[in-house]
Amino acid sequence: MTQFETQPVIISPMDEFNQTLIENLHPPRWKNPQPARRYNLVVIGGGTAGLVTAAGAGLLGGKVALIEQHLLGGDCTNVGCVPSKALIRSSRIAAAVGIASEYGISVPDEVKADFSVVMEQMRKVRSQISSNDSAARFQEEFGVDIFLGKAHFSSANTIEVGGQKLKFKKAVIATGSRPIIPPIEGLETAAYITNENVFSLTELPERLAVIGGGYIGCELAQTFQRLGSKVVLLQRGDQLLKRSDPEVSDIIQDVFAREGIYTVLNADIKRIDSENGQKTVYYDVLGIEEKSTVDEIIVATGRQPNIAGLNLEAVGVKSDSKKGIIINDYLQTTNPNIYAVGDVCMESKFTHAADAAARIVVQNALFSVFGIGRKKLSSLIIPSCAYTDPEVAQVGITEAEIMEKPEKVKTFYVALSDVDRACIDRQTDGFAKVHVRHGTDKILGATIVSAHAGEMINQITLAMVANVGLRTIANTIYPYPTQAEVIRKAADEYNFTWLKGWVKKLAAMWLSWRR
């Protein structure tokens, strides 16, 4: 039996934690197995979407192969959710220490974050979590054949990897996305950082420019500022987190200003000059030229799909350089035997969205006969969360969609300053907005801005999935005091509005009868 050895992976710094990470996710001595005669499912890409697809199909008895070019776990485990939230956790502790005196706690003035230790702890927790996505686990526990190497379609029913050919009945493309690098003069020469290498830093940049004010840019800007960098955040548009309500952007921008982040909106970057290790960013703001000199630059200007080199044309799979692989509502490509899932094809580029969609792929690709039992991507109710402080969580209908048909939506708003626990915690930056169909208590969506918004939005998401309305939430007993009461208070607002309308009608009927 011929076995094919894989190419080694190196991650800086090569300490014990990154060595453990590699041992789990791209073992140096891994040998690709001899391919089966034919697979029920071959999955290209070992990030969240690919792992969930392969594990689900394997557990249900399918003969499955999973191909990964770099590290199993994809962006989430290696350069996304896991390491970023580890850094955010450290930065929140640093921020708490910085305001400890406001709570009557004396802290020495010289207390500061030890960046090298912060990064080491991040690598430690990442290596621990990586065992969940390990090649050994997926092979032994789920019965999945793991192939490490770059894959491409070689015929209508064959995928080639490392000189081996894998025949499939159905295939799934889950190759994810990568950072978009804007065409800024001097950027390449100056050198820059993205989410793909920021977690390899071992020294804290004294001065840092973050280009891009979306989820990734805002999270990293606040994190590095709190850990000790002097951060300038450059956003091309007129608001941060542009897909959020303008009110959300205003709150986050105010918080950033208080914390010392220099936020520049409407920044049109013209060029970057580099000299003696310093990088100077020149940009226009509404016709006025400004500049910022920094030590490092983080680029966070969006994501683009990983579709190059797959030879999609050979199997009739259509794609777009910006949108990625073209799919229908069943996650099926223009080739009915090939599906796609995750960042490579979906607008919602979140780990939890990829996870949920992957479960649909398993059902549709392997267990739907003549279309019976197929599930739709559009049926998913997918929340989102930016892990700034305060967090910004949203689900369902957006403010922009409401503005298109305002007469059909009723919004109930409660400021965190009206919630006792938020006042006690001194975390009153934020609010909850819950949108319902006009004349009913049916929840269409919500936005929550609070220190714990990512946890709190789950209540609204569950209510929407279970078709539970605001009236039921209003009748639910919440422990006092909790910040989650902001949701119940919004529900109380609904009840009050509804009852007030009925009281007026009853009063009018009574007065009419008394005449």
Beta bridge partners of 42: 65, 171
The identity of residue 191, as a single letter, is A
What is the residue extent of each domain of the chain? 30-72+135-179+304-367, 187-302, 390-502
Report CA-CA distances (Å) from 314 to 35, 317, 416: 21, 8, 55
* Structure tokens, 349: 């580029």
Distance of CA 327 to the CA centre of its chain: 21
Predicted confidence at residue 1, as pLDDT, reads 35
Rg of the chain (C-alpha set): 26
Judged on CB neighbours under 10 Å (0-12, 13-18, 19+), 348 is middle
**Whole-angstrom Cα distance, residue 461 to residue 468?**
10
Torsion over CA: 314, 316, 318, 319 (sign) = negative
3-state per-residue secondary structure call for 350-383: CHHHHHHHHHHHHHHHHCCECCECCCCHHHCCCC
H-run or E-run covering 158: strand 158-161
Each of the 515 residues of the chain gets a pLDDT tens digit; together they read: 345 556 789 999 999 999 999 999 999 999 999 999 999 999 999 999 999 999 999 999 999 999 999 999 999 999 999 999 999 999 999 999 999 999 999 998 888 999 999 999 999 999 999 999 999 999 999 999 999 999 999 999 999 999 999 999 999 999 999 999 999 999 999 999 999 999 999 999 999 999 999 999 999 999 999 999 999 999 999 999 998 999 999 999 999 999 999 999 999 999 999 998 899 999 999 999 999 999 999 999 999 999 999 999 999 999 999 999 999 999 999 999 999 999 999 999 999 999 999 999 999 999 988 778 899 999 999 999 999 999 999 999 988 888 888 789 999 999 999 999 999 999 999 999 999 999 999 999 999 999 999 999 999 999 999 999 999 999 999 999 999 999 999 999 998 886 665 555 555 555 466 55
**Whole-angstrom Cα distance, residue 268 to residue 237?**
9
Instruction: Check: CB of residue 166 under 8 Å from CB of residue 154.
Output: no
Domain 30-72+135-179+304-367 matches domain 187-302 at the CATH topology level: yes
**Whole-angstrom Cα distance, residue 308 to residue 133?**
25
Short-list 71, 61, 26, 68, CA closest to 41: 61
The identity of residue 494, as a single letter, is Y
CATH topology for 390-502?
Answer: Enolase-like; domain 1 (3.30.390)
- The sheet with strand 384-386 has its strands ordered as 384-386, 391-396, 443-450, 431-437, 409-415
Short-list 316, 360, 343, CA closest to 173: 343
The identity of residue 322, as a single letter, is K
Predicted confidence at residue 502, as pLDDT, reads 55
Q: Is the peptide bond before 182 cis (omega within 30 degrees of 0)?
A: no
460 SS3 class: helix
1 SS3 class: coil
* Structure tokens, 68: 């990964």
CATH topology for 30-72+135-179+304-367?
Answer: FAD/NAD(P)-binding domain (3.50.50)
**Whole-angstrom Cα distance, residue 402 to residue 300?**
29
Instruction: Check: CB of residue 384 under 8 Å from CB of residue 80.
Output: no
Short-list 381, 377, 383, CA closest to 358: 377
H-run or E-run covering 339: strand 338-340
Nearest-10 Cα torsion for 159, 161, 164, 167: -20
Short-list 271, 237, 235, 236, CA closest to 256: 235
Instruction: Check: CB of residue 235 under 8 Å from CB of residue 182.
Output: no
Short-list 124, 123, 93, CA closest to 111: 93
CATH architecture of the domain 187-302 equals 3-Layer(bba) Sandwich (3.50)
Beta strands in 223-311 (DSSP E): 230-234, 262-264, 267-275, 278-285, 288-294, 296-299, 303-305
Helices (H), 135-214: 135-142, 187-190
Phi and psi torsions of 22, nearest 5°: -65, -40
